[in-house]
Chain A
Amino acid sequence: MGALGIALVVLMVAGAIFADLLSLYEPDRISPRDRFSAPSMEHFLGTDHLGRDLFARVLHGGRIALSVALSSILISLIIGVALGLVAGYGPRRLDNLMLLLLDSIKSFPTVMLALALVTLFGPSLTVVMVVVVLVTMPGYARIIRTQTLALKESEFVTAAISLGAGTPRILRVHIMPNVIGPLLILASMDIPVVIAIEAGMSFLGLGVRPPTPSWGAILNDGYAAIRESPWIVVAGGLPIIITTLGFTFLGETLRDVFDPRLDTRR
């Protein structure tokens, strides 16, 4: 399962990186004469209502999906780790304040949050990323906080204090390396969720602006013509399914490797 996951992820990542080499057409090139043409040797996945080559759009859409997923998860990790360490290691009062903040953020339904932010700032990739950060970060911060809380009283931390180590050193050298592992596993399993959020928001017109290729946007372009030209929806949906499965398999494998206690073979 892990090998399959890696294969699927590598396939999607390679497709996104080498999108320009692999596709014969520009993703935004409109060609009214070729509109709604079915998959053929010329257009591997067919074309959409504007005659754009769907294979090129899917590959370029992978760039958007992966870069949004990776960069927003990274930002989310950085903020989450920082807040979690402060909440876990800092004074009780600060901890309570942080928990209140994190729980309030988490209590917003994702769709409501997305709609509210788009209403305020207009649809853009930045808003998509902010939504992703707000949705994933509280979970990361909570994990780090709980583990930091447990390690705070541990003897090796006390020993470091007694040697004269200051708080920054304790957090950086003694606590962070011991709490980050499980978080990375969680983050890798969040990537498909994030890709789904991006596709979903773009489908609803809350994400990327046309004509930027995005899997969600392709779906949106296709669903009006789903009876006559179903390949458009397939072109948008297939990569989402493949990437989601790939990262999920990969994440589960990572989890089993890092934490043998969670062996789920039955």
Chain B
Amino acid sequence: MPGIMTKILEVEDLEVAFRIGPAFGIGQRKELLGVAGVGFDLDPGKTFALVGESGSGKTTLARAVNGLQAISAGRIVFDGQRIDDLDARRMKPLRLRMSMMFQDPVGSLSPRMKVGDLVTEAYRIHGIDVDFRAETERLLSLVGLSMDVTDRFPHQLSGGQARRVGVARAIALNPELIIADEPTAGLDVSIQGEVLNLLNDLRERLGLAMIIITHNLHVVRHVADRMAVMYLGRFVEIGPTDEIFSAPAHPYTAALLSANPEPDPDRAKDRIALPAEVPSLLHRPEGCEFHTRCPWARQDCGDEIPEAVIVGQRRVACRFPLERGERPPADSPTDPPTK
């Protein structure tokens, strides 16, 4: 029921450009698009997942939404208020309402601060007077840690503990939106599960909306209502998680899903191999940017940028979306077509 409920977050045609060079007067000034025009929205209490290879722009997009990265075009609207053009001072009150968890569980904690100070730092920053000890206890118990850790420094924590401290920091001010960048990175599989259950649990209990960035597809299936697949800074496919997992319509999505480790040995051989390397953002392919690696690529895929087509409840950036379970043609190129 879009339009009835206020969206917690709306992102329209977002673009993040980075300028490169010249260095010492050598080389030309170039611009590369880390995020090249993406749009999505998020209802309160829902979870949205961003997946894609390293360098596909997931983290840049998250940092832009959180106001840590200047954008070059587009709009970001948080709970009806445009936030992409706010300065640090006017952004500050909004930071009470959205928070971010960073990739490195230990590295995102200030090394000379104790856990107790770390989890309540947000209150100090915003000048909110609370009983710090009681609040520390509440937050730590929410993330399943005991008060024993309050006097420890980050390097004295295990990865899982550090991640939980990160979660406690992120939920400290009762935000409405949490952006979690690789919340399971660097953790053992068993701890990964615990952290995901924790996030799911907190989301239900506190009514949080979440954006989860990951390249772990199990995570996505576990927590996300909707998802987007990123390739070279664009969404190639966006829609409900179930739909995408059961019948990926973009060839890249299909390849990504097939590359997901599969416990069943009979199905493992269905892997769709992608030839060649990810193209450089400085030399984006003409036309459909995926055609250089696409097993289904046709003669004219490099001619024009595909319009997004609607498949079910999804938007797919491919001129020839796949049918359910469609396999690559037998004569698919093993080497990329040379341009």
User: A interface vs B, CB < 8 Å?
Assistant: 154-156, 158-166, 169, 173-174, 177-178
Contact = CB atoms under 8 A, between A and B. Distances in A.
B95 A178 contact: no
Given A164-B126, A178-B112, A155 B102 contact: yes
B102 A163 contact: no
B112 A162 contact: no
B169 A163 contact: yes
Given A155-B102, A158-B68, A173-B113, A163 B95 contact: yes
A2 to B, nearest CB: 25
24 contacts: A154-B107, A155-B103, A155-B108, A156-B107, A156-B111, A158-B63, A159-B108, A159-B109, A159-B110, A159-B169, A160-B110, A160-B121, A160-B125, A162-B95, A162-B99, A162-B100, A163-B121, A164-B96, A164-B122, A165-B125, A166-B88, A174-B113, A178-B110, A178-B112
Residue among A156, A158, A178 with most chain B CB within 10 A: A156
Contacts of B152: none
Given A155-B102, A155-B103, A155-B104, A162 B66 contact: yes
Given A158-B68, A162-B66, A166-B88, A178 B99 contact: no
The 5 closest A-B pairs by CB, nearest first: A164-B95, A177-B112, A155-B108, A156-B110, A162-B100
B92 A164 contact: yes
A194 B311 CA distance: 76
A163 B122 contact: yes
Given A164-B122, A165-B125, A155 B107 contact: yes
Contacts of B92: 164, 166
Contacts of B99: 162-163
B110 A174 contact: yes
A249 B292 CA distance: 65
Given A155-B108, A158-B63, 16 more contacts: A154-B107, A155-B107, A156-B107, A156-B110, A158-B108, A159-B169, A160-B110, A162-B66, A162-B68, A162-B100, A163-B169, A164-B91, A164-B96, A165-B125, A177-B112, A178-B111
A166 B104 CA distance: 22
A163 B170 CA distance: 8
A173 to B, nearest CB: 7
B108 A156 contact: yes
Interface string B144-183: 0000000000000000000000000100000000000000
Contacts of A166: 88, 92, 125
Contacts of B107: 154-156
A155 B103 CA distance: 8
Given A158-B102, A161-B68, A162-B99, A169 B125 contact: yes
A164 B125 contact: yes
B155 to A, nearest CB: 12
Contacts of B121: 160, 163, 165
A261 to B, nearest CB: 16
A161 B100 CA distance: 10
Interface in B96-152: 96, 99-100, 102-104, 107-113, 121-122, 125-126
Interface in B220-255: none
B218 to A, nearest CB: 24
A156 B95 contact: no
Contacts of B112: 177-178
Contacts of A174: 110, 113
Interface in B78-104: 88, 91-92, 95-96, 99-100, 102-104
